[in-house]
Structure 1
Amino acid sequence: MTWQLRRAGAADVPAIMAIETAMFPTDAWSPEAMSRDVSDPKCYYLVAFPPDAPQNIEAYAGLLAPRGAFEADIQTIAVAPGAQGKGLGRVLMLRLIDEARSRGAREIFLEVRADNPGARHLYEKLGFAEIGVRRGYYKPDNVDAVVMRLAIAAPQPGLAQPDKTGLEQQETPS
């Protein structure tokens, strides 16, 4: 399957929230919080959709990475159930890692629910390492958050940065 990626905008928030509430029914972000992050210049949010149906958002991911900051944080990522297991989460993660690097980050952090082994496995395959646990972080379920970290190298001047996704992509400015 091929997807296109583009920068998320305010008009995408209802579709993002539909996935958010389906995937995280007990601890979904509020539409207001999502809208704030999507429009914040310190953040970078992407949506993924089939090339022939740009209105059918199947996944989203968000990064907090102020330009020049040493650290970045993957705020959220979710893939709709019908699009899972096809590599889309990996594609989104690679784009967020590339964006964090381009903004100057040298470390990326994330939290993942302890009861989400699929996501943890993906993050480990991408090089993230567990550095701690926040007990009872996800409410009201009282599920632990596993804190993970990835060290990233600076971009090499004069070298093209390859597209590691292998997918056709489109990005529009925010």
Structure 2
Amino acid sequence: MPEQITLRQATLEDVEAIAFAELELFPGEAWTVFQLAEEIEHPDRRYVVAEEPGRAGELLGYAGVMLAGDTADLHTIGSLQEHRGIGQALLGWCEQAARAGGAERILLEVREDNGRARAFYRRAGYQEIGRRRGYYRIRGRSIDALVMQRELS
């Protein structure tokens, strides 16, 4: 993990900052404060925030994973700064949380038109295993989701 960031489990106190980050990163599909609060409080979810060391509350990124037996589902990952290793650190935290929860593999959906995210997941060892037609509906557009997975052995 890069030295310039700190990871910690997300709490309800983080919901507002995460919601603002969602609006910035995913304007057409941002989760609401209420949805995020439900996610963070859910017993089968694990959420993490990335911050500057010694500067609690200055959000650099966040991620969340759902635990579901031997398969986990990466729900979201967002980094507010590029090229600092924040996304890799968040993804690693989620994969470790999934392993600790008994998962043997992790799944995710990524927008077909998000080449940057697709390349990020491929570099992390994820492989495309399917497609969900019209999964995303953003500003009147229907966009396919690519389903990707990685074994956690």
Instruction: Output the TM-score relative to the length of structure 2.
Output: 0.93
Q: 2:60, 2:86 within 8 Å by CA — same for their partners in 1? A: no
1:59 aligns with 2:61: yes
Residue matched to 2:126: 128
Residue matched to 2:70: 70
Residue matched to 1:28: 30
Instruction: Output the TM-score relative to the length of structure 1.
Output: 0.82
Residues 129-161 of structure 1: CA distance to partner in whole angstroms, max 9, x if unpaired? 0011112211123121111011111xxxxxxxx
Shift of 1:33: 1.2
Q: Secondary structure at the match of 1:56?
A: strand
Residue matched to 1:109: 107
The structure with higher relative contact order (CA 8 Å, sep 6+) is 1
| One-letter identity of the residue aligned with 2:150 | L
Residue matched to 2:149: 149
Higher strand proportion (structure 1 or 2):
2
Give the root-mean-square deviation of aligned CA atoms: 1.1
Counterpart CA distance in 2 for 1:3 and 1:41 is 26
Shift of 1:58: 1.2
Shift of 1:125: 1.3
Residues 12-69 of structure 1: CA distance to partner in whole angstroms, max 9, x if unpaired? 0000001101111111112211110011121100000101311111100000014xx1
1:86 aligns with 2:88: no
Shift of 1:89: 0.3
For structure 1, the residue ranges without an aligned partner over 5 or more in a row are 154-174
Residue matched to 2:47: 45
| One-letter identity of the residue aligned with 2:127 | A
Q: Secondary structure at the match of 2:146?
A: strand
Q: Secondary structure at the match of 1:5?
A: strand
Q: Which runs of 4+ in 1 moved over 3 A?
A: none
Residue matched to 2:10: 8
Counterpart CA distance in 2 for 1:146 and 1:123 is 11
Q: Percent identity between the aligned chains?
A: 36
For structure 2, the residue ranges without an aligned partner over 5 or more in a row are none
Counterpart CA distance in 2 for 1:59 and 1:142 is 27
Shift of 1:127: 1.1
